[in-house]
Structure 1
Amino acid sequence: MCLGLPMTIVETDGISALCEFRGEQRRVSVLLLSHPPAGAHVLVYIDTAIRLLEKEEACLIAAAIDGLGAALDGNDFDCFFADLIDREPQLPAHLLTD
């Protein structure tokens, strides 16, 4: 299984960027994005930044990854998905019908 990681751009030359997530750094392609600046949060999949993230969304994705790890370890994981507790799932806008 492959997961996209929320990473922060440390430095970039417009073609690739040095990105960081939890102390791990890797160089990724940023060719799919329009010149993201240092400090920007990006979703990285297979060493390619595929989209920009707001800081809040990056934090939610990081928490979800922690929640998956907790679930795999047999630990309580509800606290990692606080944004989903006590609400019904909602479809993204592009999947809603009139």
Structure 2
Amino acid sequence: MRPLKVLIGFAKVDLEARESKRVTFTVHADRTSFTGVDHRRIVEPGQILLAAGTSSEDRLDPLAVEITGARRVVGEGRVLTTPVAVTPAPTAP
């Protein structure tokens, strides 16, 4: 069974007073893998909820994403990183 909560990436962002920045994570489906009943790492199709926040309990509303395709065994070359980009926040028009 897939775990309920998993930390798949993080970034520390320093902000000045009244400053905002955009934080973008690139999440590969391999990052949702878990150990199945046959003791192999697998990725299962289905809905995943992604959330960002200051802790696992202090989060923004989650974003639902759908993993499609068949159940897949994830081998040695699985993606173990979650790249992050921090950029200036867009300004209002």
Compute the TM-score of the two structures, normalised by the length of structure 2. Answer: 0.25
> Whose helix fraction is larger, Structure 1's or Structure 2's?
1
Compute the TM-score of the two structures, normalised by the length of structure 1. Answer: 0.24
